Structure formats: structure tokens, C-alpha cells
Amino acid sequence: MNEKLDQQFFDVNFDLRDNKYEPIKTIGNGAYGVVCLAHHRKTGTNVAIKKIVNVFEHFLIGMRTYREIKILRHLVNHENIITIRDVFLNSNNSKDVYIVFDYMDTDLKRVLESNQTLTNDHIKYFTYQILNGLAFIHQTGIIHRDLKPSNILVSQTCSIKIADFGMARQYRDHDQTQYVVTRWYRAPEVILGYTEYSQAIDLWSVGCILAEMFGRKPIFSGTNTIAQIQLIFIILGTPTKAYLQSLHSDCFRRLILSVGNRQPANFKALYPNATDDGIDLLRQLLVIDPEQRISTNAALQHSFVNEFVVKLDDGDECAMDTDTDKFDFGFESEKWTLEQLQSAIHDEINRFQVRSSKSNTNGDDELTSNNDKLATHDAPIESHHQVVIVDSSPSEASSTATKLEIDTTRLAEKKRKHRRRKHGLHHHHHSKRLTSTMCTDEKASSGDTNDDDINNPS
């Protein structure tokens, strides 16, 4: 995003005086907007509200907003994907859109930048949840395209939700842009100009995140695209002749060969505190050839994370979601004018207002029930790990640490839910929305930006 848009979309105030939400403080930046912590005046429930200003003045901003609302409404109520609770316009004008999300205490980037110790139990549990949410996303035919630690939200009970779907697109086998994914987490096939990339690019990003959890710093932190390519092949070694011959560009081929004949780095030496199965999963995620890279379903079967996969009864198959609807990306091919896009966004907003009106008529509220509510501590505990998560910058870490637990009692509750589903006690529509538990650029000094997103919206 350029400097002009930075100022326009991030220098904003939250004016909610006549609204049901009361802002508390600004907590961060999302895609094309500022996020504040707020609470619902009636219920006292904490929420995160993203304000996107002047949505209808720029087609790209409007389309990103529309896309994110549509996708998250489709992915509703998965425990590892952020949920939209409400959408509304500024009461004083019709240009600013507010999107209300579940409130999460921090994000993985801030955790990794703190002095918090991450045990292998943390890393296993975080990795499982990222893969679990990603598996559901991929089942719907979606590629997230911007997985990175700042888009992985973390609660005080160590639950994780994937956020920020502004870059998400439909999986197709041709004509996809390379201007996706923050540079440090961008798969080599994207950097090297392929337009046939698949959902495997998200798995590469997961591998980068896993390495960062092991080492507390990005594994591929190139200061520009060329440096990024070189760093990937310095660490992962010289690719095969077949791979080099498959490249579309002689320039990229020469660039890769310029790093010399290298053997893959010893991940165990790089990450001495990582377990052997953690290193093995990392190797299968950070594979140069996307055809050989592990899939989400296979990754969830890996010994590093499969202790968290819900199984029903002895001898039973693993609980799976197999009836998930594909997301309809038909609107992407529409030749909408800015006015038509504005009308489509208004339609989406009206859906939430109708739902809110029905809830109020029934004496209920959309924020009083939490589909991701943890089981109580008197429920059977399969395992408990004492942990500490710091929601602060490194300089504040020592004074704001909070002692928490990885509460895996949620697995027992998920097991009960899936058993009820198996015996037909849940309506089919709701079964598509329950937890999926599978068995089977740039700024020269930072990779925390997306390249040329303004000029390459597809």
C-alpha cells in the first residue's frame, strides 16, 4: 500500500456514540483498516471492530471488503477461523464500513516478538489449529494467500483463529497473480512467476510460520525479491536439474545457480529444541516443488500434531467434514461498476441487520452465544499444559505476563459433538458449519508487506 493510502485508510477515529458498541482502544491494523477493541453495550461482550473508511471511493478497497465479508460469512463458526458478528455503516455517513469480529487477545507475531517461552506443546497445538482451520478453508475451494503470524490470532486460552481474508481467492489452475502473500512467507513458485499455483502455497506459509515458532525469527527474511529467492535456495539447497529445467525464466534459473551447489541446511542444528517429528513436518512443508509438498489433510495425520485430532470411539474413523459447500466466487468475474459494488456491499450489510433484528425480537443477541466457548474445567481433561502467553511488545513482556493453560477439554466437547452428528442428532445445515477435524512488495527493509497489491488486484 502506498503512503497516500496509508494515511487515508489508517488515520481514522471510531465514532460509535449512537451505536450499540462502545470503543475502548485501538489495537492494530487489518487489511485496509484500523481495528479497535470495543464492547457491546448491552451484553458487555468484548469484540474487535475494523473500520474501513471511504469504501465506496476505490473499487479495490470495496472489492476487498466485499470479498472478506462474503468469505467469512461462508466460513462461519469454524473454531479456528475468525467469525464476523456484525457489519454496519457509520451513522453519520455511508462511506465507512465497520466489521465486528470475535475479540482475540493478541496475534502470533506479537507472541513471537515477546520474551515468552514457547514450549513444543505450544507449537504443536498452534500448528494443529492453523492446519485445522486451513483444511476447512481448502475444502471450500479457497486459497488464503496471506498466511503470516500477524494474521494468526491467539486467545488467552491458546486457541487460534485465522484472520484477514482480503487476499483470498478461488483455487484455479491458471492465470493467478504472483503478487500475493507477504514476501517472507511467499512460496517459491509464486516468487518465480508461476500462475498455476495451488493451495500448496498456503502450506509453504505454514512451514515458514512453524520455523519461526521454532527459531523465534523468520526463516526466509529477504530484504527484496532477489534476496528472498537466494535465501530460500541457500537454506533448502540446490534443486534438481528437472526442477531447474521446468522454470519459465532463464533469469531465475541463473539466479538460483548463483548461490552455488548447496546441500540442504540441517534443520535440527538450526532448531535444536525442536522435536524430531516437528523437524520432519517442517521438511515436508518447506518443499520447493509444490507437487511434493504435504497437503493439509496429510499434515493433520502427521505425528507432530495428530494427538489433537478428534477420534470418536475405538475402531471408529476420525471425525471429518465431508459435506462442506464450495464457496461461489462468481462475483469475481462480474464487470461491476463502483455503484454496483456499493449495492452488493449494502446487500451484505442488510443481511446482518436483518439477523440482528430477528435476534432482538426473540429477546436474544448475536453476541450472547459463543460457538467457540470452552468446556468447563470440571469436564474430563485429556491433557493440561501450563503455559504463559504475553500480549505485549518485548519491552513490556515481563510486566504483563499472564499464566494460562492450553485447555484441551475442548477436544472432549468436539468428540461429543461429532458423536451426536454421527447419529443424526444435528440438522444437516449445521453440520456444515461445525468444527472441521481432519484425519487423513515491497518495502526494502521488511517482508511484512504485500507487493504491488494496489496495481494487481486479481
Q: For the chain, how far is it from start to end, CA to CA, in angstroms?
A: 15
Selecting among 86, 102, 105, 146, the annotated active-site residue is 146
Quick one: 301 exposed, middle or buried, by C-beta within 10 A (0-12, 13-18, 19+)? Answer: middle
Paired sense of beta strands 106-107 and 152-154, if any = antiparallel
Q: Please indicate whether residue 146 is annotated as part of the active site.
A: yes
Helix, strand or coil for residue 358?
A: helix
State the cell numbers at 427. 440438522
Q: Kindly calculate the radius of gyration of the chain based on its CA atoms and give it in whole angstroms.
A: 22
CA-to-CA distance for 298 and 73, rounded, in angstroms? 27
CA-to-CA distance for 55 and 77, rounded, in angstroms? 26
State the sign of the Cα–Cα–Cα–Cα dihedral 156, 157, 158, 159.
negative
List the one residue out of 119, 161, 157, 110 whose CA is nearest residue 404: 157
51 marked among binding-site residues: yes
CA-to-CA distance for 99 and 89, rounded, in angstroms? 9
- Residue 166 phi, psi dihedral angles, 5° rounding: -65, -25
| Contacts within 8 Å (CB) and 24+ apart, 174-180 | 176/458, 177/456, 177/458, 179/450, 179/451, 179/452, 179/453, 179/455, 179/456, 180/145, 180/146, 180/450
Instruction: Output the known binding site.
Output: 51
Instruction: Output the known binding site for ATP.
Output: 51
- Would you name the residues annotated as active-site residues? 146
